[in-house]
């Protein structure tokens, strides 16, 4: 077994069972991509078994902190079984569910989502790439499913020195799927959709938005960065539950995504004239609405990742502040803003400060009604706070 030895004092994070070893922490040692290495402190003490990645700044990702553990196919199968079993204990109101969430499930770099009878996997690190065949076999055996599609096309693959890879790993068939979520239906294409095909992490926030629209009787709703319209469907469902006839304006810069929004409106039995889709820039649209004097009862801001790392935080903060300032100015008193950041480089307290600054600049005060995060099948663990990537605030204008 190959060994990497850490520099003096660099063992502290591993002693706290944090799974990452950065290049700068290593004094000597190396291995092939994905190979299991023994990680030792400067004095030779065992710290972890880890997958080595010679191309990445995260040079090793820990599989286990138990010295007697053997890293093999049986170990990986057991980790998968534990992750899948945990989902049975979470409150997931959908047949679209994340079964494996990387480091949080002790499988660094691996993401697996289930959409009905189909699995979709992303192998985002050298270790999971090396064990891809065994992981695929175990996933199919443990779930009883025969279809497994690979979506290893995220940018993190490049940081690991790995090429993009997509296509069927097991089985074959159509990539266009329909899932049930709460009381509505949503469609996706696992070959072309964002992430593994859909944003499962916002499942509970969509339900919260539907319930809020229903409780407040909101009739004028704006969904920014709408993608395929999950929040649009949620808003219309809330209006239907409240017995009000309202209207949702959905904005995105993707024509195909907006076409799916319209399809979702029809699929869930809503009238076409309740929904307007704008293929436009969000910032420009918000400014135009301000000039036109338009107002809304509820607004969703769910933008793409502005800050993938802390190094991008300052620039991203300006972008987040601008869109939140404009949105808060468009809210009616008593209206609600559901605003999100999925940027790992923006900490929750910083996001709060950004939204607060946006309110000050807009001359708007508001109550923070609720803080939200990713759905429970996208867990954050005590030992891995970096898993807290999705931050949300529900703000009611005073």
Residues marked as catalytic = 342
Give whole-number Cα distances, 299 to 117, 304, 334, 360, in Å.
34, 16, 12, 18
Q: Which sign does the torsion angle of CA 6, 8, 14, 19 carry? A: negative
Residue 396 has a CB neighbour count (10 Å cut-off) of: 18
Q: Which residue has the tokens 């920014």?
A: 224
Give whole-number Cα distances, 278 to 98, 161, 222, 245, in Å.
31, 38, 11, 20
CA–CA separation, 205 vs 309, rounded Å? 24
Return all residues near 271 (Cβ < 8 A) that are at least 6 apart: none
Q: Which residue has the tokens 């009739």?
A: 219
CA triple 103-201-84, angle to 5 deg:
50
Strand order through the sheet with 296-301: 275-279, 247-252, 220-224, 296-301, 331-341, 391-397, 366-372
Beta bridge partners of 258: none
């Amino acid at each position: 077994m190959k060994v990497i030895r850490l520099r003096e004092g660099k063992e502290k994070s591993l002693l706290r069972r944090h799974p990452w070893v950065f290049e700068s922490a290593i004094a000597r040692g190396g291995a092939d991509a994905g190979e299991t290495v023994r990680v030792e402190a400067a004095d030779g003490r065992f710290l972890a078994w880890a997958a080595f990645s010679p191309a990445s700044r995260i040079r090793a990702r820990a599989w286990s902190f138990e010295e007697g553990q053997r890293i093999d196919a049986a170990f990986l199968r057991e980790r998968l079984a534990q992750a899948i079993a945990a989902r049975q204990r979470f409150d997931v109101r959908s047949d679209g569910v994340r079964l494996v969430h990387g480091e949080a499930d002790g499988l660094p770099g691996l993401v697996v989502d289930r959409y009905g009878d189909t699995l979709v996997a992303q192998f985002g690190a050298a270790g999971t790439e090396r064990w891809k065949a065994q992981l695929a076999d175990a996933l199919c055996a443990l779930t009883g499913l025969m279809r497994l599609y690979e979506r290893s096309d995220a940018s993190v693959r490049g940081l690991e020195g790995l090429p993009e890879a997509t296509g069927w790993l097991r089985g074959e068939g159509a990539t266009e799927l329909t899932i049930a979520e709460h009381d509505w239906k949503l469609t996706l294409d696992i070959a072309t959709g964002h992430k593994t095909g859909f944003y499962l992490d916002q499942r509970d926030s969509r339900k919260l938005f539907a319930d809020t629209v229903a409780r407040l009787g909101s009739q004028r709703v704006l969904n920014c960065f709408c993608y395929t319209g999950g929040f649009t469907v949620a808003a219309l469902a809330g209006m239907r539950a409240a017995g009000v006839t309202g209207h949702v304006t959905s904005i995105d810069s993707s024509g195909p995504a907006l076409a799916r929004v319209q399809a979702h409106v029809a699929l869930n039995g809503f009238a076409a004239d309740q929904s307007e889709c704008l293929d436009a820039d969000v910032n420009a649209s918000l400014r135009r609405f301000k000039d036109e004097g338009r107002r809304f009862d509820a607004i969703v801001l769910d933008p793409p990742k502005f800050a993938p790392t802390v190094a991008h935080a300052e620039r991203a903060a300006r972008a987040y502040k601008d869109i939140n300032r404009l949105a808060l100015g468009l809210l009616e008193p008593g209206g609600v803003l559901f605003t999100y950041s999925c940027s790992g480089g923006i900490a929750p307290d910083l996001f709060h400060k950004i939204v607060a600054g946006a309110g000050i600049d807009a001359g708007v005060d508001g109550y923070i009604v609720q803080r939200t995060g990713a759905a429970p099948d996208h867990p954050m663990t005590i030992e891995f706070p970096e898993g807290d990537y999705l931050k949300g605030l529900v703000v009611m204008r005073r």
